[in-house]
Amino acid sequence: MKTTRISTSRQHTNPKPWPVCALLACLLLTIPTLAQTYQPTPENMKNREWFQDAKFGLFIHWGVYSVLGDGEWVMNQQQIPVKIYEKIPTFFNPTDFDPKAWVQMAKAAGMKYITITSKHHDGFAMWDSKVSDYNIVKRTPYGKDVLKMLADECHKEGIKLFFYHSQLDWHSPDYFPRGSTGGSWTGRPESGDMNKYLDYMDAQLSELLTGYGEVAGIWFDGMWDKKNADWRLQKTYSLIHKLQPGALVGSNHHVTPFEGEDFQMFEKDLPGHNTTGFSGEQTVGALPKETCETINNSWGFNLKDDHHKSKKELVQYLVKAAGYGANFLLNVGPMPNGKIQPEHIASLKGVGEWLNVNGETIYGTRGGPLTARDWGVTTQKGNKVYVHLLNWFDESITIPSWGKKIKSATLFAGKTPVKFLENDYGITLKVPKANLDEIDTIIELELK
């Protein structure tokens, strides 16, 4: 795979007087790297700052697979050949889909952006694609462009919209050679042209980046299906940045970011952790970070999945992600009728109520001066450091000092002063038991 990994440092050398042909030779040598050195625009850098301040987004896995209520991998898991799977869109008729309700739910949860599946691995387009009629307008009784409806509502309500887009495609005959998934059971001919597939993908991306207003970014997924293929990343990433320079490109390839990417995501793990096996091969880079997670155990709608995470689990996950300087992208899998499961609406409302009170200690912050500890994390903004006691139930705690003197310590809830002592052993904070919160006891430290 001919693609440059992002290095953190850039080397600048002062050229000596060289004979012309030698100079030409070096020029020829440097052109590929020059061409590939991605320079994010000031608008892109501004959006990266916005992204890091936003902290909390809604992930939406929705597609015709929702009809079967067995998650977004049902085609692969049940090995449903393309010819048969193509019947499912004729059953997809989400007449209760209400983009206003979705956007209001996200806003009530304290979320600042939405990332929705434009096309998942089954290859079905959730918009009115002119490049392929395998889409929601041409192949479903519903016949409306749900991405257009959602984009219009998001723009009206000031919620930014990202498009998840799968590079892996179990439907396209040109997604060839096949990868680790979507084998012969799809019934596709054992032939195809990957470059033709990538042309098709770029054409569909162009539709999304030219017909839906401002797109905050593209959330790629699926490269892991063919790790060693030439995905022509620079071509695709340059296309996106040409059509929308401010758009943030990220790819869930589970390896260290490539040139041209604007943020790094971590699937079902906090940055630097690998409890779920997705993050084994990636180092935490300098790009803005985002952790994505399911609100139950499924991305797409799963009828049987009742492992709904509690408000405490969700709030603590959001706070921990912020402590790592990462965003939290929390997923729901809407039902085939277009409604969100009531349990998930309630959980999101609960998180929103917590953020209404404590949002100042999350939004606009960066990871704190102390890395994550068993007792919790820290976030910081300006001369304020927020100590989040997520797992501490004693009246006093001593945390390491980091070289900055403390001017005052205040319980964020109720703004009551907190006794503190600074010495060589660290900073000892005394919080009366009555003030300990079972979800997150936040102590605001003002620095001298």
Q: Which residues bind ligand FHN (CB under 6 A)?
A: 72-73, 221, 252, 267, 278, 292, 299
Structure tokens, 56: 């909390």
Give 61 or 388: the residue with its C-beta nearer to ligand FHN: 61
Give the whole-angstrom CA distance, residue 399 versus residue 216: 38
The length of the chain in residues reads: 448
Give the whole-angstrom CA distance, residue 212 versus residue 207: 8
- C-beta of 39: minimal distance to ligand FHN in Å? 28
Give the whole-angstrom CA distance, residue 365 versus residue 187: 50
Give 261 or 440: the residue with its C-beta nearer to ligand FHN: 261
- C-beta of 263: minimal distance to ligand FHN in Å? 14
- C-beta of 86: minimal distance to ligand FHN in Å? 20
- C-beta of 72: minimal distance to ligand FHN in Å? 5
Give 344 or 388: the residue with its C-beta nearer to ligand FHN: 344
Give the whole-angstrom CA distance, residue 173 versus residue 390: 50
Beta strands in 13-155 (DSSP E): 56-60, 113-119
Give 156 or 304: the residue with its C-beta nearer to ligand FHN: 304
Give 329 or 427: the residue with its C-beta nearer to ligand FHN: 329
Of the candidates 223, 228, 234, the one whose C-alpha atom is nearest the C-alpha of residue 259 is: 234
Give 292 or 418: the residue with its C-beta nearer to ligand FHN: 292
Task: Count Cα neighbours of 375 within 13 Å in the Cβ-side half-sphere.
Answer: 20
Give 330 or 362: the residue with its C-beta nearer to ligand FHN: 330
- C-beta of 278: minimal distance to ligand FHN in Å? 6
Give 271 or 376: the residue with its C-beta nearer to ligand FHN: 271
- C-beta of 57: minimal distance to ligand FHN in Å? 13
Q: Which whole-number Å values give the CA distances from 223 to 121, 250, 259, 372, in the listed order? A: 11, 12, 15, 31
Give 120 or 388: the residue with its C-beta nearer to ligand FHN: 120
- C-beta of 47: minimal distance to ligand FHN in Å? 21
DSSP labels, 117-169: EEE-TT--BSS--SS-S-BHHHHSSS-S-HHHHHHHHHHHHT-EEEEEEES--
DSSP labels, 341-376: PHHHHHHHHHHHHHHHHHGGGTTT-EE-SS--BTTE
Q: Which whole-number Å values give the CA distances from 12 to 9, 42, 287, in the listed order? A: 10, 21, 21
Give 38 or 301: the residue with its C-beta nearer to ligand FHN: 301
- C-beta of 277: minimal distance to ligand FHN in Å? 10
- C-beta of 295: minimal distance to ligand FHN in Å? 13
Give the whole-angstrom CA distance, residue 137 versus residue 387: 50
Give 218 or 429: the residue with its C-beta nearer to ligand FHN: 218
Give the whole-angstrom CA distance, residue 444 versus residue 413: 9
- C-beta of 267: minimal distance to ligand FHN in Å? 5
Contact 59, 106 (CB under 8 A): no
- C-beta of 413: minimal distance to ligand FHN in Å? 34
Residue 390 φ/ψ, nearest 5 degrees: -95, -25
Phi-psi region of 56 (alpha: psi -120 to 50; beta: other; left: phi over 0): beta
- C-beta of 221: minimal distance to ligand FHN in Å? 5
Give 132 or 252: the residue with its C-beta nearer to ligand FHN: 252
Q: Is the peptide bond before 177 cis (omega within 30 degrees of 0)?
A: yes
DSSP labels, 381-446: ETTEEEEEESS--SSEEEE---S--EEEEEETTTT-B-EEEEETTEEEEE--GGG--SS-EEEEEE
Packing angle, helices 342-358 and 99-108, rounded to 10: 40
Give the whole-angstrom CA distance, residue 422 versus residue 398: 9
